[in-house]
Structure 1
Amino acid sequence: MSAPAGPSGGVRHLAAFAATFAALAVADAQAAGPGIWAIGVMAHDRGFASDDHENGVDLNLEVQFAPLAFPGSPRPHLGATLNFTGDTSVAYAGLGFRVWHAARWFADANIGAVVHDGPLHKDPARCEQFSDCGFGTRFLPRLGAEIGYRVSPRASIGLFYDHMSHKWVVEGENEGLDHIGVRYLHAF
Structure 2
Amino acid sequence: MRSFWLAIAALGTCTTTPAFAQEVFGGVYAHEVETPFTFAVDESGTDVMLGYRFGEAEGLSFLGKPQPYLVASLNTAGDTSFAGAGLSWRIEAGPVFVRPGIGLVVHDGPDLKIDPVTGEHRELGSRVLFEPEIAVGVQLSERVAAEASWVHISHARLFNWEQNPGIDMMGVRLSYRFD
Into which bin does the TM-score normalised by the smaller protein fall? 0.7 to 0.9
TM-score by length of 1: 0.76
Further displaced range: 40-49 or 130-139: 130-139
> Whole-Å Cα distance in 2 between the matches of residues 151 and 38 of structure 1?
14
Instruction: Report the equivalent of 2:33.
Output: 46
> Aligned residues, how many?
162
State the one-letter code of the partner of 1:77: Y
Instruction: Report the equivalent of 1:162.
Output: 151
Superposed displacement of residue 169, structure 1:
1.8
State the one-letter code of the partner of 2:154: S
Alignment of 1:133 onto 2:122:
yes
Superposed displacement of residue 106, structure 1:
0.3
Superposed displacement of residue 68, structure 1:
0.7
> Whole-Å Cα distance in 2 between the matches of residues 73 and 104 of structure 1?
20
Once the two structures are superposed, the pairs formed by residues 34-183 of structure 1 within 5 Å of their partners are 34-48=21-35, 49-50=37-38, 51=40, 53-69=42-58, 70-71=61-62, 72-98=64-90, 100-123=91-114, 126=115, 129=118, 133-171=122-160, 173-183=163-173
> Whole-Å Cα distance in 2 between the matches of residues 130 and 102 of structure 1?
48
> Whole-Å Cα distance in 2 between the matches of residues 159 and 148 of structure 1?
6
> Whole-Å Cα distance in 1 between the matches of residues 67 and 79 of structure 2?
29
> Whole-Å Cα distance in 2 between the matches of residues 122 and 93 of structure 1?
26
Q: Unaligned stretches of 5+ in structure 1?
A: 1-20
State the one-letter code of the partner of 2:134: A
State the one-letter code of the partner of 1:102: A
TM-score by length of 2: 0.80
- Contact preservation (8 Å) 1:104, 1:150: yes
State the one-letter code of the partner of 2:166: G
- Contact preservation (8 Å) 1:157, 1:184: yes
State the one-letter code of the partner of 1:170: F
Identity of aligned residues (%): 33
Instruction: Report the equivalent of 2:177.
Output: 187
Superposed displacement of residue 175, structure 1:
1.9
> Whole-Å Cα distance in 2 between the matches of residues 47 and 75 of structure 1?
29
> Whole-Å Cα distance in 1 between the matches of residues 87 and 55 of structure 2?
11
Structure number with higher helix proportion: 1
Superposed displacement of residue 53, structure 1:
1.5
> Whole-Å Cα distance in 1 between the matches of residues 94 and 131 of structure 2?
29
What's the CA shift string for 1:37-56, capped at 9, x where partnerless?
10100101115335362111
- Contact preservation (8 Å) 2:112, 2:121: no
> Whole-Å Cα distance in 2 between the matches of residues 52 and 159 of structure 1?
23
